[in-house]
A and B are shown apart, each in its own frame.
Chain A
Amino acid sequence: MEMDFCERSGCSSPSLTPMATPLRKVFGRIPGLADGCTNGRMATRNRQVPQQRDSEQEEFQHANSDCLSSYYSVFVARLAIMVMLTILIGLLTILTWHITKSYTAKSLNNLAYGLRYEILQRPVLRMWNILNSTVDITTAQVKLSEYIIRQYDNSVTQAEQVERYESMRKVMWALFASRRALDAITINYRNGFVQAFHRDHRSNNAYYIYSDLTNYSIGVSGSSSAINMASPLQGWDNQSIHGNLSAIWYQEPLDPTTGDKIGKARQILPDDLINIAGLSQVPDGVASWHVAVSKYSDSPLLSAALPVWDPDNESIVAVVGVTTAFYSVGQLMRELVELHGGHIYLTSHEGYLLATSTNTSLLINSTKGPELMMAVDSQEQVISLGAQWLKRTYGNNFPTNHEVHAENARLADQQYYIDSFFLNLKRLPIVGVIILPRKYIMGKVDERAFKTMVILISSSLSTLVVGCICIFLLTNGVSKEMKLRAELISHLNARRKAEASSNYKSQFLANMSHELRTPMAAVIGLLDILICDDCLSNEQYATVTQIRKCSTALLRLLNNILDLSKVESGKLVLEEAEFNLSRELEGLVDMFSVQCFTHDVETILDLSDNIPTLVLGDSARVVQIFANLISNSMKFTTSGHILIRGWCEAPGLLRDFVKPPIDQRKSTPAFTYQTKMKHIGCRKRRESKNHNEVMLCFEIDDTGCGIDPSKWESVFESFEQADPSTTRLHGGTGLGLCIVRTLVKKMGGEIKVAKKNGPGTLMRLYLVLHTTASSTKQNIRANYAKHDVAVLLAVPGSMSRSVMSGWLCKNGMFTLEASEWNGLTQIIQELLQSNSDTVPLQGFDRQYGQKFHGMDGIDNRDGKSPVLIIVIDIGLLDLSTEIWKEQLRFLDKYRGRAKLAWMLNHDTSNVVKMELRKKGHLLMINKPLYKAKMIQILDACIKERNSESLKINHNSTSSAAKYCPPESLLEIDAVQFDGGSSDDSSIEFSDLRKEDINESGDRTSSHCNNEERKITCNKRVSPLQRSVRSNSCVAKESLDGLRILLAEDTPVLQRVASIMLEKLGARVLAVGDGLQAVKALNCELDADDTASGQYLSNEKRISLAKMQFQSFDLILMDCQMPKMDGYEATKLIRKFEDGTGIHIPIVALTAHAMSSDEAKCLEVGMDAYLTKPIDYDLMVSTILSLTRRKDTTDEE
């Protein structure tokens, strides 16, 4: 078993080593796998660039194979664990079995050995006793015989002889009787006379055997004794006995206890019964021992013979023999064996059996009579087999110590213990053998061991099976996880592939749309040329226009796709430019209202006053956001309104300036211009230092079909529409909102669909934009409240009306509302016609009705008299019939007391327009009405009123008609809008204003300021329009008299800038670099320095510097110039100025247009900065603000 185990462990160890390597691999792979996973995740995060893809795929395959191999290694690991478990359990079993079995066996063996030794020892001791007692008896007999013989040595007579023999007999009997174990006791006299006692153990009879006395002549014996003196053995002739056939032997039965004769003696043959020890047995005169057999005993006999010497110790007179049976030894052995089982036998040295524990005969009857038997020939099978086994195993070479202890000797299908002891008795060496069946000692142990073994093996087997199942179950989970992971990886792979393909797709789309754009541009350009062509028929013209519209739509779609892919690839860069947000939105609303008109939808723009006018950002993208949102709303809104609401969320950024509470503004009108300008002046620097962020919030609120709340998120996905079924109805690609969201996110904002009460959709978004320094000029509106203005809104759309009236109220004006013609007439009549006693219509009427009535009498004596402005939607007139002329006539009646402003539809016919114009209604705006237009109306009205108050004669209306070019009322078209925001109404107003200027001749300073404010408000318009305006509204010589130093190295720029400035009336000195600029400032100073040496007093230096510096009002400084750049030059100039109290404004010219550059400019001491190319208006306003501040400080 142990060998077996060793073998197994031996063969399993080489199989373990290859197993260990995959195991190690598994453990090594696990972090690797994790790495692969994280890499994969990372890779998914950064969007794929084509070059990366290959390496990723490789990595991926690697991960895949990793997974597969780890899957296998799990299998191997499972096997290994099972094998290890098997080995462990096997080992435990074997160990347990070994400990229980072998220790017991060993201790039992020891015990058994002792037992066997003990068992054997006892018969041997008995044997020893027998021997000793035999010897004792023999010796006693000899001594007694010697005594008796000596006693009767001299007896010569027959009687004396008989007496001697009689006494001898008695002595012998005494000895014989004392030892019951004795078989026989004999004495053989020299003369051949024999006396013997014999005991038959079987019949328990005792006999006295003697030879006939008569045949022996005593005398002979006496005489011969003398003769044989020389040789003691002479005359001792066995032949004399045996040959003395004539001698008669008698056997006398005796009472075994008393020794009395109980029967008659009968004659027997000599030597018939017993061996009579004769002289032959003591040839050398010493005692002899031998084992003999007798006829009447079936056991061997031990006989001893001793000579009896005569008193002179010269001759042997008799031989005494004692015979003892081994019978008692056999008896003892039988007893022992009965107790313990097994067999014991004793043999002589030669191998003759002396005694056995069985009852079988120890003698063989041969022809010569019974003889001793070899142990091998014993009739008892076990003994003969044991003897054979011993002989076979050891042969004649007995171990040196003459002891044999053999266990597991197999005799006839049974295991035996065989132990043999050698007793080296003098003259009679004896071998004792004990054969014990193993069963007797180890039977129980073997049985127990077998049972234990069976139990152990079965229990370990069941444990093994259960363990294997457990392992299988446990690792099954792991392998399942592995499988899942492999699946996950394959899914990842699939997803990545899908992503890659979608990426390819979008890239393809981007490329395609880019490629398509070029021919599209050509198509549109050609169409434009075609449209310009005069020789087209009307139908052709219509078709071409249609084609152009379609092409534009297609181009927009392409642009959308391109935008989307640009954003997706992260290539979209938002430009950071200043733009007028509200103007852009107004333009958008103008554009969309045209589209809206067909579906009876109001488009309303409601921007809060706190929205900064100028913000920094990407105007095109902002417009795109709103255009998409509005067009989206429009698609789904068939009736109702689309309301764009906007407000600024972070007024803290403009904290001390914006939104001074309206009532405060109203209450302190005196504090108007100058303080405000100062405010601006101070703020300018502060504001420009920190680029303020504002959060602009917007809501697009429509009354369309709405979006299901579950789709609120998904509508922002690309190619996603809330309801697929509407695609056919409304068209569109589903890209719009996606672009919106990406753009909004890009601007740091967020967009979502908000919950709305009532039908429709409410989109809420906010954008984070920067404001600029110049944005501080926002919101400076004239205080209309002080003009006592009342507005009557006669507009059918309720939503736009309420929004507008809300705004007007907030700005301190009082409003009246009418939704249709009848209401309007009623209000007008109530206000302007009826008597003061009539019931006032509204609260407004209570206050103003009186005033208006009074106004009739006063007749505009005072410029501050209240004015009623009636804003009338052209839709209120009944244009289908001729009634509208009547209606106009009705309104004409009130011309003197109220100003009429007309809201036209874009499709209002020219006839109506001409009619209105003819009647002197010059205030016309296109729908929709929003804040800026309202302001224009208000401004125009107030101005008109002012001029009226100055000039009694107001024929200006007729002259104004001359100035109005027919195309001043441009029809707003979406296509045109792309070029820039349309600003038709402002053109009209500027014309009006010009007229005013011409008429009034002298300009007040506040007037001029008004103009400038106007410019800043209208900043972001197309160059063309700007130039138109700059021609008209900016004073031609607004920079008149200013001395400007221009430092610019690029000749082109130098030339352009100087011409620009000169045109504005400034005197310009242009220099090529910073060094020259510094020199130009300092030349005189330097000259003086050199002239008067270094001892120029400080005061003088200051005055000189003042003088010198005052030669220029402003410096325009390019930042990057050779020799000395703008920053250095500025630093130098500021150093010169230090301590003189002079501050010459320096304006940086930079092409960088980044905030860091701006910061750098301001840091070195520049006051403002302009980006290249030079924006005409911005430059003028900047220069003016800087020089003016200087003026005001000078004045102070």
Chain B
Amino acid sequence: MDVVQLQSRLSEYLKSLFNDGTLDGQFLQLQQLQDESNPDFVVEVVTLFFSDSEKLLDDLSSSLEQPNVDFRKVDAYVHQLKGSSSSIGAQRVKNACIAFRGLCEEQSIPACLRCLQLVKQEYLYAKNKLETLFKLEKQVVAAGGSIPSLDAGS
């Protein structure tokens, strides 16, 4: 494939991520922050997000499995997850987290478990998508093109 085709695929893909709500403007802001001094900034942050989120999700699962669920702790985890997901612009994860927090206030364990499942799904979905995106970007870079980030998402 030639570079132009790759580039258009990449931008289409990015667009689709925006359209289905996986990402929002915050991600673009991240991309804005990436420049020569931090060439892999987005990848770095997103990777950070992945590791952080996985840790949080593990913590969440384990604390929900406890006999006496400490909802404040759960709430704090979800809050953290919400913060980080909104920072990278993973909108759907963020929305799931908002719903989760609402349920935390109700203190219903089955609902929380369901919601955790949802958050996990969203997270995996976002992760999948983002990884694909990075793969595409890499291909573009390998093919020698630049990443067309600015005109995407309008």
Instruction: Tell yes or no: B33 within 8 A of A by CB.
Output: yes
Q: Pick from B22-30, B111-119, B140-148 the stretch touching chain A.
A: B22-30
- Note all chain A residues with C-beta closer than 8 A to B88: 1052, 1056
Contact residues of B between 3 and 32, Cβ < 8 Å to A: 12, 15-16, 19, 25-26, 28-30, 32
Contact residues of A between 971 and 1011, Cβ < 8 Å to B: 976, 979
Q: Are B38 and A1059 in touch, CB under 8 angstroms?
A: yes
Q: Are B83 and A1172 in touch, CB under 8 angstroms?
A: yes
Q: Are A1120 and B84 in touch, CB under 8 angstroms?
A: no
- Note all chain A residues with C-beta closer than 8 A to B76: 1120
Per a CB cutoff under 8 Å, which of B16, B41, B80, B84 touches A1059? B41
A305 to chain B, nearest CB (A): 138
Per a CB cutoff under 8 Å, which of B45, B87, B89, B150 touches A1024? B150
A1149 to chain B, nearest CB (A): 9
- Note all chain A residues with C-beta closer than 8 A to B35: 1063
A1053 to B48, CA, bound (A): 10
Q: Given the known A-B contacts A525-B16, A979-B154, are A1050 and B26 also in contact in the complex, defined by CB atoms under 8 Å?
A: no
- Note all chain A residues with C-beta closer than 8 A to B87: 1050, 1052-1053, 1056, 1172-1174
Instruction: Tell yes or no: B52 within 8 A of A by CB.
Output: yes
Q: Mark B72-90 against chain A: 1 for CB-CB distance below 8 A, else 0.
A: 0000100110111011110
Q: Are B28 and A1056 in touch, CB under 8 angstroms?
A: no
- Note all chain B residues with C-beta closer than 8 A to A1053: 83-84, 87
Q: Are A525 and B19 in touch, CB under 8 angstroms?
A: yes
Per a CB cutoff under 8 Å, which of B12, B19, B25, B49 touches A1052? B49
For B31, give the chain A residue with the smallest CB separation: A1027
- Note all chain B residues with C-beta closer than 8 A to A1151: 79, 82-83, 86
Per a CB cutoff under 8 Å, which of B30, B80, B82 touches A1049? B80
**Count of residues in B whose CB is under 8 Å from the partner chain:** 33
For A976, give the chain B residue with the smallest CB separation: B154
Q: Are A1056 and B154 in touch, CB under 8 angstroms?
A: no
Per a CB cutoff under 8 Å, which of A1030, A1055, A1118 touches B48? A1055
Q: Given the known A-B contacts A1056-B33, A1059-B41, are A1173 and B26 also in contact in the complex, defined by CB atoms under 8 Å?
A: yes
- Note all chain A residues with C-beta closer than 8 A to B26: 1023, 1173
Per a CB cutoff under 8 Å, which of B28, B30, B80 touches A1050? B80
Q: Mark A1026-1066 against chain B: 1 for CB-CB distance below 8 A, else 0.
A: 01101100000000000000000111110110011001000
A1024 to B51, CA, bound (A): 28
Q: Are B16 and A1051 in touch, CB under 8 angstroms?
A: no
A976 to B153, CA, bound (A): 12
Q: Are B48 and A1023 in touch, CB under 8 angstroms?
A: no
Q: Looking at B35, B44, B83, B86, which has the most chain A CB atoms within 10 Å of its CB? A: B83
A1049 to B38, CA, bound (A): 22
- Note all chain A residues with C-beta closer than 8 A to B32: 1027, 1030-1031
Contact residues of A between 1010 and 1027, Cβ < 8 Å to B: 1022-1024, 1027
Contact residues of A between 875 and 932, Cβ < 8 Å to B: none
Contact residues of A between 1166 and 1187, Cβ < 8 Å to B: 1172-1174, 1176
A478 to B19, CA, bound (A): 68
- Note all chain B residues with C-beta closer than 8 A to A1050: 52, 80, 83-84, 87
- Note all chain B residues with C-beta closer than 8 A to A220: none
- Note all chain A residues with C-beta closer than 8 A to B154: 976, 979, 1022, 1024
Instruction: Tell yes or no: A529 within 8 A of B by CB.
Output: yes
For A1054, give the chain B residue with the smallest CB separation: B48
A1053 to B79, CA, bound (A): 13
A521 to B41, CA, bound (A): 32
> In the complex, which range does the number of interface residues on chain A fall in?
20 to 34
- Note all chain B residues with C-beta closer than 8 A to A1051: 48, 51-52, 84
Q: Looking at A1049, A1052, A1056, A1118, which has the most chain B CB atoms within 10 Å of its CB? A: A1052
Q: Given the known A-B contacts A1023-B25, A1024-B150, A1120-B76, are A1055 and B83 also in contact in the complex, defined by CB atoms under 8 Å?
A: no
Q: Are A1176 and B80 in touch, CB under 8 angstroms?
A: no
Q: Are B79 and A1023 in touch, CB under 8 angstroms?
A: no
- Note all chain A residues with C-beta closer than 8 A to B52: 1050-1052
Q: Are A1023 and B29 in touch, CB under 8 angstroms?
A: yes
A1050 to B87, CA, bound (A): 10
Q: Are B29 and A1027 in touch, CB under 8 angstroms?
A: yes
Q: Mark B51-62 against chain A: 1 for CB-CB distance below 8 A, else 0.
A: 110000000000
- Note all chain A residues with C-beta closer than 8 A to B33: 1056, 1059-1060, 1063
A1024 to B28, CA, bound (A): 7
B42 to chain A, nearest CB (A): 10
For A1151, give the chain B residue with the smallest CB separation: B83
A1120 to B84, CA, bound (A): 13
A366 to chain B, nearest CB (A): 131
- Note all chain B residues with C-beta closer than 8 A to A1027: 28-29, 32
B31 to chain A, nearest CB (A): 9
Q: Mark A934-948 against chain B: 1 for CB-CB distance below 8 A, else 0.
A: 000000000000000
- Note all chain A residues with C-beta closer than 8 A to B48: 1051-1052, 1055
Q: Are B80 and A1024 in touch, CB under 8 angstroms?
A: no
Contact residues of A between 494 and 540, Cβ < 8 Å to B: 521, 525, 528-529, 532
Q: Are B80 and A1055 in touch, CB under 8 angstroms?
A: no
Q: Are A1120 and B80 in touch, CB under 8 angstroms?
A: yes
Q: Are B12 and A529 in touch, CB under 8 angstroms?
A: yes
A1023 to B153, CA, bound (A): 10
A1061 to chain B, nearest CB (A): 10
- Note all chain B residues with C-beta closer than 8 A to A528: 15, 19
- Note all chain B residues with C-beta closer than 8 A to A521: 19
Q: Given the known A-B contacts A1056-B33, A1174-B87, are A1023 and B28 also in contact in the complex, defined by CB atoms under 8 Å?
A: yes
- Note all chain A residues with C-beta closer than 8 A to B153: 1024
A1 to B46, CA, bound (A): 110
Contact residues of A between 1155 and 1175, Cβ < 8 Å to B: 1172-1174
A1055 to B47, CA, bound (A): 11
A976 to B87, CA, bound (A): 26
Q: Mark A1099-1124 against chain B: 1 for CB-CB distance below 8 A, else 0.
A: 00000000000000000001010000
For B46, give the chain A residue with the smallest CB separation: A1052
- Note all chain B residues with C-beta closer than 8 A to A1176: 29
A548 to chain B, nearest CB (A): 14
Q: Are B25 and A1024 in touch, CB under 8 angstroms?
A: yes
- Note all chain B residues with C-beta closer than 8 A to A1023: 25-26, 28-29
Q: Are A1052 and B45 in touch, CB under 8 angstroms?
A: yes
A1118 to B80, CA, bound (A): 11
A1031 to B87, CA, bound (A): 20
- Note all chain A residues with C-beta closer than 8 A to B82: 1151
A1050 to B82, CA, bound (A): 10
For A1050, give the chain B residue with the smallest CB separation: B84
Contact residues of A between 774 and 811, Cβ < 8 Å to B: none
- Note all chain A residues with C-beta closer than 8 A to B29: 1023, 1027, 1176
A1030 to B28, CA, bound (A): 13
For A529, give the chain B residue with the smallest CB separation: B12
- Note all chain B residues with C-beta closer than 8 A to A532: 12
A1151 to B84, CA, bound (A): 10
A1036 to B33, CA, bound (A): 12
Q: Looking at B52, B80, B84, which has the most chain A CB atoms within 10 Å of its CB? A: B84
Q: Given the known A-B contacts A525-B19, A1050-B83, A1151-B83, are A1055 and B28 also in contact in the complex, defined by CB atoms under 8 Å?
A: no
Q: Are B45 and A1056 in touch, CB under 8 angstroms?
A: yes
A1055 to B87, CA, bound (A): 10
Could you pull out 24 A-B pairs where Cβ atoms are within 8 angstroms? Answer: A525-B16, A529-B12, A1022-B25, A1023-B25, A1023-B26, A1023-B29, A1024-B150, A1024-B153, A1027-B29, A1051-B84, A1052-B48, A1052-B49, A1052-B84, A1052-B88, A1053-B84, A1053-B87, A1055-B45, A1056-B88, A1059-B33, A1063-B33, A1120-B79, A1173-B86, A1174-B87, A1176-B29
**A1027-B28, A1052-B49 given; 11 more Cβ-contact pairs under 8 Å:** A528-B15, A528-B19, A1052-B45, A1053-B84, A1056-B30, A1056-B33, A1056-B45, A1056-B87, A1118-B83, A1151-B83, A1173-B26
The 6 closest A-B pairs by CB, nearest first: A1023-B25, A1052-B84, A1173-B86, A1027-B32, A1052-B49, A1050-B84
